[in-house]
Amino acid sequence: MTVNNQQRTKLGLIIGISSLFAAYFFAFGLFLPYFPVYLKDLAFTPVQIALIVAIPNIVRIVATPVMTGISDRAGRRRLSISIFAIVCAVAFGVIANVNTYALMVAVVVVMSIFLAPLQPLSDAYAYEAVKSRGLDYGVMRSWGSAAFIAATMFGGWYLGLFESVQLVYFMVVGLVVMAVLSLQLPGMPSEHRKAAQGAADEGHAKGELQRLELHIVLFAGGLTLGSMAGLFSFGSIFWLSHGISDTNVGLLWSAGVLAEISVFLLGGRLLGRIGPLGFMLIGAIGGILRWIVFPHADTFGSALVVQLMHGVNFGMTHLGMMAFLAEVVSGKRLGTAQGLSQTYIGLFTGVAGITAGWIYEVNPTYAFYAMAVVAAGGSIVLGLFWARLRRFSGEVPAG
């Protein structure tokens, strides 16, 4: 293959992965901030809303490692993404036509089983491309964040004119596009059935996936990212209750993701200096500060400033965790490892989300203070095990 052909192939892969992220995060950018608003329009209580919003996080505790493990063992990562996305699209179509609480819970549970593995499988595919083709994960992932911004801004504008239920159908469109795009991507080495089966036969990843240090890092990352449950459940509702317009709510979500994009685009250089664990610790500390200040930022200007902390809180934690996993886990098991990380995140996000619902009914301010406590847990875990983690990360290149 000539140099020009190699460059075109590489560019095509970059565009394909970037588009895959964009399709997923367009759907997710509507789901995350506006699904609670749709539930509120159905007259569900804050506790009911918190429970439904927490379901995907609770379900993925079990569903993610199971579904990603099935995909890795089958060696059909791209096909798995396509099938799971289609099932999710159908489920959202049903959700748009449900108005009773019990039925909503049942459908969301089913939807969550297939939603859970979409991001970890996409991340696994992308990071295998990083390792095998020399691509930049941050650049490709930033297109997903850009699509998230577009979705939140679109959703905020749309809510000012139309009913929230109609946004659910746009989620369906994003998932269908994702399903189609995944089948257009080229295969990676681990997706060959023989290679995948070899990975499954080697003691089911006992050496790689059962290391204590790995679980310490994922536990800490799960706490840090789980602290965002209050934002996911009540961020939009909190801002709307303080007179911030629908359009400006969309801008606030977009501002946070812009900060996230900046970290993804520029974080590679810092990651090489600070290392994955250092990135995660900074993200946890940023989370503590963010949630302490959040309930007092009740104007658009002040909320905008706080939302820019998302780049530190989420961006650095996510990038650090992804870089850590890519360095310590082989491509054959990367999907399963990503699923394992989502199990920790789902556990803490689910528990924190339900807790936030109870507390929010009493006092919204205390609900966000509780999220600061969860983020503090992540920083404490990393701090207490810092010496041991540094010895472990000494085996891992910082970049």
- Domain spans in the chain, listed from the N-terminal domain onward: 7-393
pTM, to two decimals: 0.77
At 395, the pLDDT band (50, 70, 90 cuts) reads: very low
Residue 193 has pLDDT above 80, yes or no: no
Q: What is the pLDDT of residue 158?
A: 86
What is the rounded distance in angstroms from the CA atom of residue 391 to the CA atom of residue 388?
Answer: 5
Q: Which residues, 6+ apart, have CB-to-CB distance to 48 below 8 Å?
A: 39, 101
More confident residue, 136 or 310: 310
At 396, the pLDDT band (50, 70, 90 cuts) reads: very low
Q: What is the pLDDT of residue 131?
A: 78
For 4-32, b/e burial (b = at least 16 CB within 10 A) is: eeeeeeeeebbebbbbbbbbbbbbbbbbb
At 204, the pLDDT band (50, 70, 90 cuts) reads: very low
- Chain centroid to CA 215: how far? 18
Residue 67 has pLDDT above 80, yes or no: yes
Q: What is the pLDDT of residue 373?
A: 96
Contact 326, 63 (CB under 8 A): no
What is the rounded distance in angstroms from the CA atom of residue 122 to the CA atom of residue 17?
Answer: 8
Give all strands (DSSP E) within 161-249, no chain letters.
none
Contact 152, 111 (CB under 8 A): no
pLDDT in tens, 23-46: 999 999 899 888 888 898 888 888
Q: Which residues, 6+ apart, have CB-to-CB distance to 387 below 8 Å?
A: none
More confident residue, 315 or 33: 315
Tokens 């059935």 correspond to: 193
Query: How large a percentage of the chain has pLDDT more than 70?
Result: 90
For the chain, the first-to-last Cα distance in angstroms comes to 29
At 1, the pLDDT band (50, 70, 90 cuts) reads: low
pLDDT mean over 275-304? 93
At 398, the pLDDT band (50, 70, 90 cuts) reads: very low
- Mean pLDDT value across the chain: 85
Contact 229, 357 (CB under 8 A): no
At 286, the pLDDT band (50, 70, 90 cuts) reads: very high
pLDDT in tens, 345-388: 888 988 898 899 899 989 999 999 999 999 999 999 988 876 66
How far from 42 is each of 23, 80, 97, 159, CA to CA, in Å? 27, 33, 11, 15
pLDDT mean over 127-153? 86
pLDDT mean over 170-198? 80
Tokens 């983690």 correspond to: 389
pLDDT mean over 214-231? 92
Contact 61, 185 (CB under 8 A): no
The encoded tokens of residue 157 equal 């504008």
> How does DSSP classify residue 204?
G
Residue 19 has pLDDT above 50, yes or no: yes
The encoded tokens of residue 74 equal 């089958």
pLDDT in tens, 251-278: 898 888 889 889 888 877 788 788 888 8
What is the rounded distance in angstroms from the CA atom of residue 378 to the CA atom of residue 48?
Answer: 27
Element (H, E) at 38: helix 3-41
Residue 162 has pLDDT above 90, yes or no: no
More confident residue, 198 or 17: 17
pLDDT mean over 193-216? 61
Query: How large a percentage of the chain has pLDDT more than 90?
Result: 41
Q: What is the pLDDT of residue 301?
A: 94
Q: What is the pLDDT of residue 199?
A: 47
Residue 2 has pLDDT above 70, yes or no: no
CB atoms within 10 A of CB 303: 24
Q: Which amino acid is at 126?
A: A
Handedness of CA 85, 178, 143, 13 (dihedral sign): positive
Q: What is the pLDDT of residue 368?
A: 95
Q: Which of 36, 387, 71 is nearest to 233 (CA)?
A: 36
Q: What is the CATH number of domain 7-393?
A: 1.20.1250.20
What is the rounded distance in angstroms from the CA atom of residue 318 to the CA atom of residue 315?
Answer: 5
Residue 390 has pLDDT above 70, yes or no: no
